[in-house]
Every structure is written in structure tokens, then in C-alpha cells.
Structure 1
Amino acid sequence: MLFTLRSKTVFRETSRYILLYNLLFADTVLLVQSQLLYILAACRITLTYPVCGVLIMLANLTYVISPLTLVVMSLERYVAVCYPLRHAAIITIRNTGMAIIVIWAFSSLNVLIQVLLLLNFSFEDLQSLQMKNFCGKESMLLNLMSDLYEKACNGLVFISASVAVTCSYVGVMVAARSASADKASAQKARKTLLLHLVQLGLSLSSTIHNPLLIAMSKVLDRIIVVRIQNVLYVCIIIFPRCLSSLIYGIRDQTIRPILMNNLCCHSLCVSATPAKAKICIITS
């Protein structure tokens, strides 16, 4: 999907595709980081606190970007349906770029605050910088302030994003009932915004992954907890991050044919009969 969104000019010069690329890029980085930590844990490899801190802060950087990008994408759909004549003037490439810069700046500021809170911890009290447990987000919440800030920031971001997407959804529904509205466009935008709400809900569910495992480990056998952990990891961590690719890769009529061609390894289609039957020759 990332390659597809950079392969054509229409994708590079359309605001919603630029926002989609930003969303998929952040989710991809988060998936790579989570997969790396999962493999390290499966191989029973522990890290030092500085190395683990870098990986966790990288995840925190991209973790906030997804809901904020969904908000901007929802507002873009709202403007397209409710203010179609002003859409081209409001949703420009320049404004989209500025929105992305603001999103990354906010996320970077969040990470900077988390690093400053982490530096307040007395690492000299530790016997060694080598971690005894596997690297994870909870492992780097070494003091109460870090834990409270993490919960407060995530709660604020997800509540604000949910309110913004919900308001956009309601606005599109109201606009769809008006006589002057484009019914087909409004219906498609309504479904897209509803999917954005589902994405936000699934992303929010990832915050209960570790607390839920900790609670279950107190009452269930270790083998059962490990099996449940694998299921939760796929359903709560991986699936929500893949949902954007599935939604736009399958539903979007502009992306789908180009994506399918890329997935077929850039097959060369040669006309075989006067009826335009095609034989695909795989080149790679």
C-alpha cells in the first residue's frame, strides 16, 4: 500500500491519499516495532534500559499519530460532503502538509515530555542497566508520574479524536438528509466515518492489552495465558493496524486496480484474442 500510494501522481497530489499514506506509514513503523519486541521476547532476549527506551519512545511517537490522522481524514470527508464548493479551497496540498506537520510535532512533544519524566528516575539506584524482564511499554514506566502522564495523554487524545469523528459523522448524516446533498457521496462518506470510529475503538483497545494479561495471569495457568496473549496480540495489536490497508485497498476504486497489479508482481498483460482476452506473464 505504501508503494502504491507513491506510484501515481493522483495519489501524491490528492489530500486524502496523502493523509492515508501518513496513517499507513505510522502504523507500519508501529507494527515493525511491536513485531521486533515480540520476537525478542519469544527468543528470551532482554535489553538494556536505554535500548528499550529508544524502541518504546519510537512506538509512542507513532502511536498518537494514527488517531490524530483519522481525525483529519474525517474532517476532510465532512468538508467534502457539507461544503463541496469550498472543498478545493480548504483541503489543499499545503493545508494537508501543515496538518501532518502539526500531528508529528504534537506527537514529538509528547515523546519529549515522556523522556524528561523518564530522566527523573534514579537509574543509579539500579544494580544494572540490564533489564530483568522483557522490553515493553510497562517496563519503562519507572515512576508514578510517567504512568499518570501516559494514561492522561492517551485518554485525552482518544476522547478528543472520538468526539471529532463522531461530530463529523453526525454532520454528514444531517447533510445527507438535505435535498441539495449528493446522496451517493454522503452515503460513502458516512460509511467511511463509521469505519474510522471502529478503527479508533480498536486502537483504544490496545491500551488494555497488557493490563488484561496481568489480571489474567493471576487467576489462569501460564500456558493458557500465553495462548490468550497470542490471540489478543493478533486481534488488538496487529489487526487494527492492518484495517486501514484493508478498508482503502478494497473499497477505493482508484487504489484497488493499481494495488492488485502490484500484488501480482507487476504482471504484464498481453492481448491474446480480438476479444481483448489477456494473458498475464509474471515478470518477477
Structure 2
Amino acid sequence: MSNVSDSYSNNIDVLFYVSLLEKVVLSLLSTVSACVFLCINGTVLFTLRSKPVFRDTCRYILLYNLLLADTAHLVVTQLLFLLAVCRVRLTYPACGTIATIANLTGDISPLTLVVMSLEIYVAVCFPLRHASIIMVKNTAVAIMAIWAITSMNNVNRGLFLIEYSFDNLETLLMEDHCTDIAWFPSTPRDNYDKAYTCLVFVSAGLAVIYSYTGVVVAARSASTDKASAHKARKTLLLHLIQLGLSLSSMIYYPLLIALARTVSRLVFVWVQNVFYVLFIILPRCLSSLVYGLRDQTIRPVLLHYLCCHLRFPVEPGLG
């Protein structure tokens, strides 16, 4: 996940060779998309804090944490994108701070999806114990644990700076635009990042698959609510897709390298920007679309705010 922020900026290198008009058009493609999804994410975040039913329900608290991290990640990575487009050079400390924030917020999603999947598993398989296991206090502890794990990962990455000396630098100003590798070139750190990424996604994938299997088995029981079990299965499948899309950001840059060998430069520029929207921006906005439109409790309130209070009045029970 650490080379994600590197991928966001490295795809700009080829833009140096195209015209100013093409740069503007290509930059608008990602920027407009990011702004649209940021507005949607922001509305969902406001919605989740607007009603007691959302603030006091563990599932919505976890969703808020997921969307908050994804929104912050999208803002930071789009900032890196625009800085690279404008060929703005930062100092090493400034670049390191932005890249670290991008890595931190990018690591939150898979871990939060694991907790959300386990919550669904408990709700379907142990409905009588759900209220005693999934409490607001326990949810807060789980969220703090998620942020602690991701923060510790970034601390561990920082330890690799010991082997890299900045004393030989003539100036703290970077020679090129800000990327994770540019400010922190370290092969051991890169190997650590790959190992951590594999561990997180394999563990998260196994947790979601285990939850899905448990729900499928529970659905065959006569005492299980078939409708709830069916909805839980669909949600867990969506969680698995979200994990896959998050992982796709890791193969984004290698995919561009392979593509650059087979197509012309101009075609590559357009395709890589489309890939940026699909593999980088969209995964960070899928949660708001999935829950905002599928959840019967969130949807009327969300539409109420999106339509500026003109339509879709909120039901009295949600007030």
C-alpha cells in the first residue's frame, strides 16, 4: 500500500511530453471525478452524524470510520496528483508528511472491512448474542486498534530512514515531484511494504471469506431469517469486491508499465488517466455508493440532503 502514493504521481511523468491543453483536459478528468465523489462522501459522512440512529449503531460507526479514511485518502492522493501535474517540487519533510498520511489513510479500509464483515457474521450466526458482543464501546476499541495498527506500520517504515542519510543532499528541496520512492528510496523498506500488504490483504480476504461461509451455513438453518442472511451474503460479497479494488491500486503502476510497451504515447496518456479514475478514485468511493443506495435507513436521509431538502422527506422515526 505504500507504493500507492508513488503510483498516483508517477503516472504524471508522461504528461510532460504532451501539450498544455491535453494536460488541462486530462487533469480535469481526474479532478472532476474526485470532486464529485468527495461531495458524495462528504454528504454521507454528514448524514451519518445527523441522526442518533446512525451515531449509536455500531455498523454505521464503522461505516463512518471507513468513509472518513477513504475521503482523507482521496484528498491527499489527489493533492499529490495535482502537485505532480503542475511540476511542483516540495521539500523532503513536506513530501514525507504527505506520503505518510496517504499511506496511513490507505491502510484503514481493508482492516475496517474485516471488522464490518465480522459484525455481519455475528449478527447472522449469533443473533441472540449480537447486542452483547457488538457494542458501541467495543466498536470504539476496534476502531482505535485499526488506527493503532496502521500507525505502527508507518512507524516501522520510518525506522528504515536510519539507513538513509539526508546529509549528502545539497538542498532539502526535491529534484522532482513528490512520490513515496523519491523521498524515501530504500529497497528493504520496499520489501517490507510488499510483505505488509500481502499479509493485510490475505488476512482480510480470509476473514471476509470465513464470514461469508458462516453466513451461508447459517442460512440453511430453519431458525435463521432468510431475508437477512441473503442480504448479509450480498454485503459480504461487496466487501470482497472492495478488497479486490483496493488491491488493484497496487497493480496499477505495473499495469501501466506493461501498457506503455504496447501502445503509443498519446493513447497511453489517456488510458492511464482512465485507469487512475477506475483503480484509484473509484475504490475509495464505492462504500458511499454501496451503503448510501442499498441501506434502507441511510438512503432516504442521504437523498434528502443530496436534493437540498426539496424532495425525499425524512421519515419521522429518523428525526
Same fold (TM over 0.5): yes
Q: Deviations over 1:198-232 (max 9, x none)?
A: 00000001011223223434554432322122011
Distance in 2, Cα, partners of 1:100 & 1:148: 27
Distance in 1, Cα, partners of 2:184 & 2:251: 15
The residue that corresponds to 2:231 in the other structure is 188
- Given the alignment of the two structures, is residue 139 of structure 1 paired with residue 182 of structure 2, yes or no? yes
- Given the alignment of the two structures, is residue 40 of structure 1 paired with residue 96 of structure 2, yes or no? no
Q: What code does the residue aligned with 2:237 have?
A: L
The residue that corresponds to 1:173 in the other structure is 216
Correspondences of 1:1-284 after superposition (within 5 Å): 1-218=44-261, 220-267=263-310
What SS does the corresponding residue of 1:47 show, helix, strand or coil? Answer: coil
Tell me how far 1:77 sits from its aligned partner. Answer: 0.3
The residue that corresponds to 1:274 in the other structure is none
Matched positions, count: 270
CA 1:235 to 1:78, structure 2 compared with 1: closer, same or farther past 3 Å? same
Q: What code does the residue aligned with 2:98 have?
A: L
For the pair shown, the structure with the greater C-alpha radius of gyration is 1
Contact 2:174–2:183 (CA under 8 A) maintained in structure 1: no
Tell me how far 1:258 sits from its aligned partner. Answer: 0.4
Distance in 2, Cα, partners of 1:140 & 1:168: 40
Q: Deviations over 1:115-152 (max 9, x none)?
A: 22134312223343322232123334411111111111
The residue that corresponds to 2:317 in the other structure is none
- Return the TM-score normalized by structure 1: 0.91
Q: Deviations over 1:168-192 (max 9, x none)?
A: 0011011111111110000000000
Distance in 2, Cα, partners of 1:218 & 1:113: 36
Contact 1:81–1:172 (CA under 8 A) maintained in structure 2: yes
Structure 2: runs of 5+ lacking an equivalent:
1-43, 314-319
Identity among equivalent pairs (%) = 61
Larger CA deviation: 182-191 vs 36-45: 36-45
Q: What code does the residue aligned with 2:136 have?
A: I
Structure 1: runs of 5+ lacking an equivalent:
270-277, 279-284
CA RMSD of aligned residues (A): 1.6
CA 1:267 to 1:212, structure 2 compared with 1: closer, same or farther past 3 Å? same
Distance in 1, Cα, partners of 2:94 & 2:256: 24
